[in-house]
Structure 1
Amino acid sequence: MSKEIFISHAVKDKALADAFVDLMVTAMGISADDIFCSSLEGMGIPSGANFVDHIKAAIQSPKAVVALITPNYLASQFCLCELGATWAMSHNLFPLLVKPLTFEDVKGVLTGAQLTEINSATRLSELRDQLNSTLGLTGKNTARWESKRDVFLKGLPKILKKLPSHQQVSAATHAKVVSDLGDARQYIADQEADLEEKKDLITKLEKAKDKNEVAAIKRAYAGEADQLDQLETDLGLQLENLPKHVSYVVCKEIGLQQRVKIDNFKDADLAEGLERAAGQQLIEIDDSGFCTLNSSHPLVKKMFKPLRVLKKFIDTASSETHEDFETEHETTLSLGNSDYWAIRLDNRLHRMSF
């Protein structure tokens, strides 16, 4: 869950982040519990938590993002991703420019942003007023603020001098960082679009009247691969309710367009199973020994509906779905393929002769 203020900073700038957070707490009256700062104890990542996942969660909805823009910050791809996320989510951004950087150094990264020079007393006071307004604070104790601010500014040169220096990056590395930032923005945009789609799905599911309507809505929102998995499962469950010899007849008669004939000499087990199924009225056997599904039997009737839906899906599925299936399973996606029945619909058919 996001806190009210997210401090975006480079890990190498921990000392600067610590001093600035202390200024916010002691001089502005902001509670430490309302500040997220990943490198500071008690304000960052809980023990055992995933670092990336926790950062993503923390930057979802803060009221303000304060970015400490230093050379180390610009050299950090992770920091630039945080900056990109802040822009993409339209958060209130308060960038603090830290020497030796100049406005010219950051104009390509922070175009149009109102920068605050961290070493300027006047600009820090303006930042305080902006944060007070954003957070709904009164900020009345001006004398205390100015005293603490001046102490912070007096100690700032010493803090900056001790910060680890950054390595000069090549033009290629810089270009990659910019590209990664663009990718981060696109990722966030895609996630937001996906979130809106899921919200729409939830709304429609809440209004659904019965389980059939729920299933239809889920299929409409699923990708083709997910739809195929679900339709195969639906048919497979109905086939499992039938004896394996009847499932065999379904495969041969409807899928392979072949008639099944009883032959005691060729396959006594199949013949016995088919005769047993005929006694259960699941199939009919004519005088020549040819078997036909009894479509009026309740179990057979229940099987026909998911079979028709799956057949329609396979017939209209994209070539990409067929190609992906063939790559994964090394067989064709077709009801006319006995391997498809045995692999995806009823594995009992593996042990039967086609």
Structure 2
Amino acid sequence: MQKNQDIFISHSGQDKQIIDDFIDLILVGGMSVPIDKIFSSSSDGTKIKSGTDWRDSILSALQNAKINFLFISSNYKESEVCMNEMGAGWVTSAKVIPLIIEPINYKTVGVIQEPIQIEKLLDEKSLDRIKDLLQETFEIPNSLIKSDRWTAKKKEFVLKTKAFLKANPFKKPLDRQEFDDLIEENNELETTLTKIIEEKNELEKLVEDLKNAKDKSDVKEIVKKYSNTTEYDEFEILTQKVCDSLSDFHPIIIGIIFKTFSNKDITIKALAYSEEVDEALANDYINEELEAVFNKTQKMQKIEMLLDKLSLFLSKDLSSEFHEQYENEYDAPFSISNKIFWKDVLDLNLYFS
């Protein structure tokens, strides 16, 4: 390996075609960077020599490089070697330039950098900034970088890489929130499946016992035996689920959700809570008219579903025992469209101003 390799290119071997074109068209073709100043583990003329310990070669190249390019793609994120190179790159004296390749974006890149320090590989302005940095770092004279030639090579690289990516698309990466949501959804599905299996087993036992029943008295006893949940138990489970689904919202946002769901003409004065409102707007929980948006996010869809379930339960012909127990527990009106019900029964604090 040459000792004067000043440019280190950290990349996934699966992205070799993109790296080859970047070296040929941008670095060598557009900027006249000598090929022996470039280290890339997979490109001809720049890669590790046969018989050399690749770990020592990479370490030496990282330590000696003046500029460290990180070509962050979906393949890069899945490579342990690449992620190690990324971590090592931050502690060297080299200038680190992360280059993201869609569908990787500022949200999913995962490097400890501000977005303004990350360049997009297929953005011509980003490539121009890279040119300026390389020219300054290596003191490349203008005579070696002709404007027309640079522009032509830059456009050729962008068009060629876009065509390659269209023919060989990356898988879309998940950001942390999407991943957490999927894990939560999977856990809920597993819990639901376990419950369904348990209920199926209970029903099979119920059917078998009913087959052996001799008269109505036996049937009544069997039904009582398998009915472990009372109406009030079901009510408490529903109200707790509603409370849990809304408990992490600020009271002003809960107030907006209450207004929208109850369809009441309530004036929301949220000037004092601009930060909370902006956050909810950004997450598509509410709209500009300060109304809840139930159809854009899984979180809000779940809230609407739980509120609908509770509303349907309250409209049922419930037993006198249930109403007696409710009245002993609460003074709140028995209505999901009542603010006191939300405060006392659902244990939620809500503001309108």
Taking structure 2 as the reference length, what is the TM-score of the superposition?
0.45
Larger gyration radius, structure 1 or structure 2? 1
Taking structure 1 as the reference length, what is the TM-score of the superposition?
0.45
